[in-house]
A = this chain, B = another copy of it.
Amino acid sequence: MKDISQSAYNIADLREIARRRLPKGLFEFVDRGTEDEIALRNNRAAFERIKLRPRTLIDVSGRSQGITLFGHELKMPIAIAPTGSGGLMWYEGEIALARAAAAAGIPCTVATGSITAMERIVEQAGGRLWFQLYMWPDRSLSHKLVERAKAAGFEALIVTVDGAVAPNREYNLRNGYTIPFSFTQRNVTDVLMHPRWLLGVLARYVFTTGMPRYENYPNELKNRITARPMGKSRMVSDSLNWEDLRVLRKMWPHTLMVKGILSPADAILAADCGADGVIVSNHGGRNLDSSQAPIEALPEVVDAVGKRLTVIVDSGFRRGSDVIKALALGAKAVLVGRPTLYGTAAAGEAGAGRAIAIFREEIDRVLALIGCRSIAELNRDHLILDKRWDSTD
């Protein structure tokens, strides 16, 4: 089978292939934001407002984009963000994603809401794996999940803290998809009109493990959430607090990150609780529609805790230049979520690899064009922030 993802020149191309391949309801589940999608648009606009100031006539022939993150060498300054739907993009899409990451020498995060069970991803894909945790109201169930991740050999734990309640993603309700997957009045036509997904993804699940569902969930929860709308199915706890984080810190001996921080004060509290890293994120513009773009919240967080812990950022990264801007502002790495999902939807592991390769090429090109030989050389002098003409007063 021809690998269509090789025809993509950029992430927007991969997105377009995914849009054609997936039922509309699944594509929107991945692609869209929340409410009026102000945050979604602003995440991108914020990157456009930042300009890079190139330096020239520097020998960049031996340049490298490798970084050291939490003591490990990464071949690129990115990691795969947790996303709950990889397994709906492609049959066992989470395995495809993890394999692509391993091949590229970068970490991949497995989500609580993964379709494929975490142990199976470890077994089939290997590589450097992180586990993302949503805390359920019943803490003991979540703690068992953490123990499973530890036993399975995950290298890091990411606790997502920006979803105290289910966000308002109205399109999910309109589209009528459910987890575990079921046919509803609202999605049946959509699915039938996409036979490639129906046969290539859904049917393969049905003939092996049954309708796709959250395979990481313990049976207690799997049974309770039978066929709830995707937009409403998150059984997260709205009582999650810093004490929960301290408990997790004691349970988890490896790298611990807190994801969904936008305020310097919270970053300081995370450091006080012993976290190793924070991920500045507005959940890709999918949770709080009035949230600031993470790239604009980043500098204050770096200033507040940059010396105490590792600051990572995500949300809206689509070009290598976006990654460079984040690193120049002080982030140590960037998570990418949708780009590799688009790739997975387009062509499974090869497509996810194509997404990563696009970032690699673009990061390399921008490094060369601004005169940097390594990520370490990036700093705020490479940036021009939006204060027009101030320098010419």
Contact = CB atoms under 8 A, between A and B. Distances in A.
Interface in A253-296: 258, 260-263, 265-266, 269, 287-292, 296
A162 B385 contact: no
Interface string A44-81: 00001111111111111101000000000000000000
Interface stretch (A89-97, A116-124, A168-176): A168-176
A99 interface: no
B391 A300 contact: yes
A38 interface: yes
A292 B391 CA distance: 14
**Interface size bucket, A side?**
35 or more
Given A170-B9, A369-B165, A290 B52 contact: yes
A48 B290 CA distance: 7
Instruction: Among A54, A60, A361, find the residue whose CB has the most chain B CB atoms closer than 10 A.
Output: A54
A384 B57 contact: no
Interface string A189-223: 00000000000000000000000000000000000
A260 B362 CA distance: 20
Nearest to A287: B369
Contacts of A307: none
Given A371-B164, A388-B386, A319 B36 contact: yes
Contact of A165 (B161, B240, B368, B384): B368
Nearest to A174: B9
Interface stretch (A24-32, A139-147, A241-249, A345-353): A241-249
Nearest to A269: B57
B299 A392 contact: yes
A239 interface: yes
Interface in A305-338: 319, 321, 324-325
Contacts of A166: 365
A260 B244 CA distance: 47
Contacts of A170: 9-10
B59 A288 contact: no
A58 B261 CA distance: 12
Instruction: Among A51, A242, A303, A370, find the residue whose CB has the most chain B CB atoms closer than 10 A.
Output: A51
B368 A52 contact: no
A168 B371 CA distance: 16
A387 B385 contact: no
Contact of A389 (B239, B321, B385): B385
A51 B369 contact: no
B241 A57 contact: yes
Contact of A38 (B48, B165, B288, B299): B48
A96 to B, nearest CB: 25
Given A60-B164, A263-B55, A365-B165, A387 B389 contact: yes
A104 interface: no
Contacts of A164: 56, 58, 60, 368-369, 371
B260 A51 contact: no
Contacts of A370: 288
**Which 7 A/B pairs are nearest by Cβ-Cβ distance?**
A61-B239, A299-B392, A56-B161, A52-B290, A9-B170, A165-B368, A385-B389
11 contacts: A52-B288, A52-B291, A56-B258, A56-B266, A57-B244, A57-B245, A57-B269, A59-B239, A165-B365, A168-B365, A296-B389
